[in-house]
Amino acid sequence: MEKARVDKTSHRIRGMFGRVAHRYDLLNRLLSGGSDIVWRRKAIRLLSPRPGERNLDLCSGTGDVALEVFRRSSGETRGVAADFTFEMLALGKRKIERARASIPEVNADALALPFQSASFDSATVAFGVRNFESFERGIREIHRVLKPSGRLAILEFIPEPDSILAPGIRLYTRTVLPRIGAWISGDDHAYQYLPDSVEQWPSPELLGQKLKQVGFVTVRFEVLVLGMAAVHIAERGGER
Ligand SMILES: C[S@@+](CC[C@H](N)C(=O)[O-])C[C@H]1O[C@@H](n2cnc3c(N)ncnc32)[C@H](O)[C@@H]1O
């Protein structure tokens, strides 16, 4: 079967997330049966944020990962949450305030980050990298803003689910998920874009190689429960 053409131009991506922002959290919980919470927790556990560290949560959306880093470190990391969709940031701000966390939000494009080089100890991107207009430019920017030996955690879906449930998962993501997504969000496109973009995303092995090509020296990954998603932990070299 021919693969659908996926348009990742920044203005399309920003517009799409702006339209579904009001239902984004509800659909995450519903469509993943709550697994998204478990996946984010696991990603942050593997990243192991340390007290005093400065973390950049990129493609922060409604702030779930930034808040998880904050909680995991008992509020002792200094986090920044960045995203380029105003509607997502506005919802994130409310959640961060409710949690009484101090995490500044920045409206920023991952492809041209407004941060100094070597200014973060760690970075997190959950379900964000797949949407970059240019994977390489985005990853280079993250590499640039990380300090020597800084760590990056990427949480993303896997194109071919690594599980005996794979046929059922494929059927669900191709047929049921887009319908429920369209019905609840009121947007026909966003929840069709999700399986289409995942289908064209590299395997965990290939993603690991690509991260190394951009300059990360060590990369390891773990496939998560249900085999639908994986976490990559990539480390910058120790050079100055
Ligand atoms: C699927 S959501 C993930 C949100 C959040 N990380 C989570 O775990 O729920 C993807 C987010 O990435 C953001 N995004 C996509 N491309 C971006 C870019 N180039 N720069 C900044 N944010 C971007 C979108 O605005 C959206 O909020």
pLDDT at residue 238 is higher than 90: no
Based on its alpha-carbon atoms, the radius of gyration of the chain, rounded to whole angstroms, reads 17
Q: How far is the CA of 80 from the centre of ligand 1 (A)?
A: 14
pLDDT at residue 1 is higher than 60: no
Cβ-based neighbours of 203, under 8 Å, separated by 6 or more: 158, 159, 160
Place of tokens 């020296």: 217
* Rounded distance between C-alpha atoms, residue 123 and residue 134, angstroms: 18
Q: Delimit the domains of the chain by residue range.
A: 10-235
The average pLDDT across 181-194 equals 93
pLDDT at residue 240 is higher than 60: no
Q: Write down the pLDDT at residue 2.
A: 58
pTM value surpassing 0.85: yes
CB 193 within 8 A of CB 127: no
CB 19 within 8 A of CB 187: yes
Average pLDDT value over all residues in the chain: 94
The average pLDDT across 77-86 equals 95
Q: Write down the pLDDT at residue 161.
A: 84
**Cβ count near 114 (within 10 Å):** 10
- Domain at 10-235: CATH code: 3.40.50.150
In percent, the amount of the chain with pLDDT more than 90 equals: 87
Residues at CB less than 6 angstroms from ligand 1? 10, 13, 17, 59-61, 64-65, 83-85, 88, 109-111, 126-128, 131-132
